[in-house]
Chains A and B, each alone.
Chain A
């Protein structure tokens, strides 16, 4: 089982809709969870991180974490064409390593 799994998509939503991106992870001891956005040909950019169960909101973005289900999601409200990118879920696992383990990403397209 891969450590961090995401639906590769592509996910297509109309402008103004809510985009929902999902991620599951295998290491129950994982501590920190991150969402990165990567535009084509560019480097990943950190948009949200979450440590505790529940929701964390930042502008149009909401990260949701459920450690019992080993599930983390990202909601993008009022989606804009500029949100079209690949969204990478990353997890900091237990064990003392500071590395992040990345999922393969979900490609999101927001249609005007």
Chain B
């Protein structure tokens, strides 16, 4: 499709529960990026993939966060044992050529940890 599809739109989890977010990139886009937006505007890079390979994971909190992009499946971002500070909007973006021409963002998943 021509849009980056993220599901679910909203997710509520109790502290300590697992959260799993999904992202289907635009067809033909080989790069996928995950960002976390907290405090309204601050975008934090988490991880990027080139096809199914991790490209850059320098932003991932390694202990509780993991992500995958498997062939013929949506990409996923999983948070084990959620904490209150994980409450944020998680955006996925895709691009055909890396960062050179910018990316197209999905509509985001709002995660609320209570």
| Chain B residue at smallest Cβ distance from A107 | B41
Interface mask (B75-111 → A, CB under 8 Å = 1, otherwise 0): 0000000000000000100010011111111111000
Residues of A within 8 A of B104 (CB): 46
Q: Which of B55, B58, B91, B102 has the most CB of A within 10 A?
A: B102
Q: Do A43 and B91 form a contact, CB below 8 Å, given A34-B102, A104-B42?
A: yes
- Give the interface segment out of A59-67, A70-78, A95-103: A95-103
B65: CB under 8 A from chain A?
A: no
Q: What's the Cα separation between A101 and B45 when bound, in Å? A: 7
B22: CB under 8 A from chain A?
A: no
B48: CB under 8 A from chain A?
A: yes
Residues of B within 8 A of A36 (CB): 102
- The A interface, classified by DSSP as helix, strand, loop or mixed, is strand
Closest CB in chain B relative to A70 CB, distance in Å: 18
Contact B107 A42 (CB under 8 A): yes
Q: Which of A43, A90, A102 has the most CB of B within 10 A?
A: A43
Q: Do A99 and B56 form a contact, CB below 8 Å, given A88-B43, A104-B42?
A: yes
Residues of B within 8 A of A46 (CB): 102-104
Q: Out of B42, B91, B99, name the residue touching A99 (CB < 8 Å).
A: B99
Closest CB in chain B relative to A39 CB, distance in Å: 12
Q: What's the Cα separation between A86 and B33 when bound, in Å? A: 21
A56: CB under 8 A from chain B?
A: no
Closest CB in chain A relative to B112 CB, distance in Å: 14
Q: What's the Cα separation between A1 and B103 when bound, in Å? A: 25
Q: What's the Cα separation between A36 and B42 when bound, in Å? A: 13
Contact B45 A32 (CB under 8 A): no
Residues of A within 8 A of B55 (CB): 97-98
Binding site for B on A (CB under 8 A): 8, 32, 34, 36, 38, 42-46, 49, 86, 88, 90, 92, 97-102, 104-105
